[in-house]
Structure 1
């Protein structure tokens, strides 16, 4: 396992904060051993928590020309037909994956193809399970066209904890299935919009792995 590049600055700032905090406690409360040890333990816990946010575990990825692979780790919270109003402006099959703070936060391309559309939206930080988060939160929208002509839309959505969405793609790029397309710091949600009638291989509340779990099959 390695640490993702998005974590370097955050981890460095966390270490600096811990060092300053512990130095202050050692100086100010030298005679209170119980307090100093409590701060040491909490500092270690904080460091471990931040470190695991940015872990990048080694994986054997799933690939398939007609497969749609889960773009993120997490739990399936939505499988339903809905109106997609930004790009398609018609009925689509939405699958949403909720990323908790303990999940790996790397986002991976569910299919290979050409990026036909990309847009970043600044916004609010509502809880990821709030229905309005899909249209009001900070988010990105990406549409990739499969070589068979099928367009798939996927959307990174920030949540109550997430305060920064990172992306590595732009319109016109040729993307490869399971390669990284972005990162959501401290988790949140990823939505995927498929053609109505697409065979989905997931169930509600199923735990999935980004780049590994098969989400759907294209006809």
Structure 2
């Protein structure tokens, strides 16, 4: 547990840590013991929540890696959100639920060029519910690999999370495992696999963002006409 506090803090998290720490200090100086301890716990929790650990990203272009830490909530065939531009045919969707105790940094599942970054307002239902993919506030990201295949990733806000942050923009080149955003405070990340991908995880399995291999891609299912070079 101590190792989780000895890692860098996400830049966006410092203001939350500062607010809780200042409130804790005021409570200590004024002798309000009943308030001091809860505020101290909140300060420590905010440090833990906004941790930004480094990851050992697999160097294999033929795989997709987990875009987030958390638990695989469900694996279903579903039609991707229209804004991803992946068509109207069902694709395998891997939904990763992030609790308030997970690292909330999102990472690119593969190298590629950012094709789509589209925000859609919505509800704040429990992120573990299946309908959260359709009804909740979300940010959709589509990556175009060098072989032309498209990979969709969706950041979904939950009933606790009220803020989706995305760092990337269309046309940008990202590397596998590169940080592309985060969500405060509990949330879900959906990954849509391209056709022919071989799934390597199961529901109930815990993911390590930027490290866990989710799927292997079909080596012969490239799209040469749309291929791009990075």
TM over 0.5: yes
Equivalent residues of 1:83, 1:89 under 8 A apart: yes
Q: 1:48 and 1:63 mapped to 2: Cα distance?
A: 34
> Alignment partner of 2:79: what SS?
strand
Number of the residue aligned with 2:11: 5
> Alignment partner of 1:157: what SS?
strand
> Alignment partner of 2:101: what SS?
coil
Matches within 5 A, 1:91-170: 91-170=90-169
Deviation at 1:79, TM superposition (A): 1.1
Q: 1:21 and 1:169 mapped to 2: Cα distance?
A: 40
Q: How many residues get paired?
A: 209
Number of the residue aligned with 1:14: 20
> Alignment partner of 1:3: what SS?
coil
Q: Residue by residue, what CA displacement relative to the aligned partner does 1:137-172 show, whole Å, maximum 9, x if unpaired?
A: 121001101111110000000101111111111111
Residue of structure 1 aligned with 2:65, choices 58, 66, 69: 69
Q: 1:217 and 1:47 mapped to 2: Cα distance?
A: 40
Across the aligned residues of Structure 1 and Structure 2, the Cα RMSD in angstroms comes to 1.5
* CA spacing shift, 1:58–1:113, aligned 2, 3 Å: closer
Larger Rg: 1
Q: 1:196 and 1:65 mapped to 2: Cα distance?
A: 16
Q: 2:177 and 2:165 mapped to 1: Cα distance?
A: 16
TM-score normalized with structure 1 length:
0.90
Q: 1:183 and 1:59 mapped to 2: Cα distance?
A: 16
Q: 2:29 and 2:137 mapped to 1: Cα distance?
A: 37
Equivalent residues of 2:159, 2:186 under 8 A apart: no
Q: 1:195 and 1:218 mapped to 2: Cα distance?
A: 8
Q: 1:193 and 1:121 mapped to 2: Cα distance?
A: 17
Q: 2:100 and 2:81 mapped to 1: Cα distance?
A: 29
Flag structure 2 segments of 5+ consecutive residues without an equivalent: 1-6, 219-230
Q: Residue by residue, what CA displacement relative to the aligned partner does 1:31-79 show, whole Å, maximum 9, x if unpaired?
A: xxxxx2x433322211111110101123322221111010100000111
Number of the residue aligned with 1:39: 35
Number of the residue aligned with 2:224: none
TM-score normalized with structure 2 length:
0.86
Q: 2:16 and 2:121 mapped to 1: Cα distance?
A: 21
Q: Residue by residue, what CA displacement relative to the aligned partner does 1:84-118 show, whole Å, maximum 9, x if unpaired?
A: 24132221110010001110011000011111111
Q: Residue by residue, what CA displacement relative to the aligned partner does 1:189-218 show, whole Å, maximum 9, x if unpaired?
A: 000111244201101100010000001111
